[in-house]
Amino acid sequence: MTFVPALHSEWLKIRTLCSLLGTLLALFAATTAFSALASADPADPAEAAEGSGSGFDPLFTALSGVMPGQIAAIAFGAMAVSAEFRSGALRLSLAAVPRRGRWFAAKLTAVAVPVLAVGPVTALASLVVARAGLGEAADGLTVAQQARGVVGCGIYLTLMALLAAGLAALLRSGVGALSLLIPFILVVSFVIGDAAGGAVAYLPDRAGQVALHASYEGPLGPWSGLAVTALWTAAVILAGGWRLRHRDA
């Protein structure tokens, strides 16, 4: 089977699994809701605007719902791959597509495209809702900053979903992938990472999230930060592909 039919087959699997479609809906709902809550926190717009000189970032506040929302993107990537390791489904997939690299590429593409489609829409909705809450505090945001935040958010969520997919292939377990990634993002990156000095900027989540800031300091910018996240993702995908090639289905 060539790549296009293989991709069509993998897309049909994702489209017919309600749990996977539910994670994309959760991604939109959680990100938008938490962004709205975060933007409502500064009760006085003038106070928030005054805080902009002391670390307040209206773009990051508007897109801060990505922090909890990305868990849904991670779950989507991990579940899409781990479903193949249940009930001998991978044997059937590889019987149809004997070239494992081609099958894995089709699976990853089927994971990336929906998240890449939903991610910017989610970011745009979060930005619109949050700007209404922030009021005058968001007036300083330029069109270029907001466009970069929306596009960067979509790319970041896609990379995190692919990172989870690669890790699920490496561990042959969606639960294992989620058990590693979610505590890493919620605990290691924000608690242990703060004590790691400049190295924290190169963690996959921290690096990619630079694109969500209107202003930024440190060694990485928005696009170089996303490039670092892409390198982490590529490394994990290569490891997952190697495991797939050298392990019986």
Please count the other Cβ atoms lying within 10 Å of the Cβ belonging to residue 198: 8
* pLDDT level of residue 131 (50, 70, 90 thresholds): confident
Tokens representing 131 are 């700007």
Tokens representing 69 are 């929302």
Tokens representing 234 are 């590529």
- Most confident region among 36-45, 81-90, 173-182, 186-195 by mean pLDDT: 173-182
Distances in Å between the Cα of 199 and the Cα atoms of 90, 204, 219, 226, 233 are 38, 11, 10, 16, 18
Tell me: the pLDDT tens digits for 42-86? 544 444 444 444 568 889 999 999 999 999 999 999 999 988 887
The C-alpha atoms of residue 43 and residue 57 are separated, in whole angstroms, by: 15
Question: What is the pLDDT, as a whole number, of residue 212?
Answer: 94
Annotate 89-134 with DSSP letters as a single string. HHHHHHHH---HHHHHHHHHHHHHHHHHHHHHHHHHHHHHHHHHHH
Q: Report the percent of the chain where pLDDT is more than 90.
A: 52
pTM surpassing 0.85? yes
Tokens representing 104 are 């894995």
Question: What is the pLDDT, as a whole number, of residue 43?
Answer: 44
193 contact partners, CB below 8 Å, separation of at least 6: 200, 203, 206
Residue whose token pair is 């938008």:
32
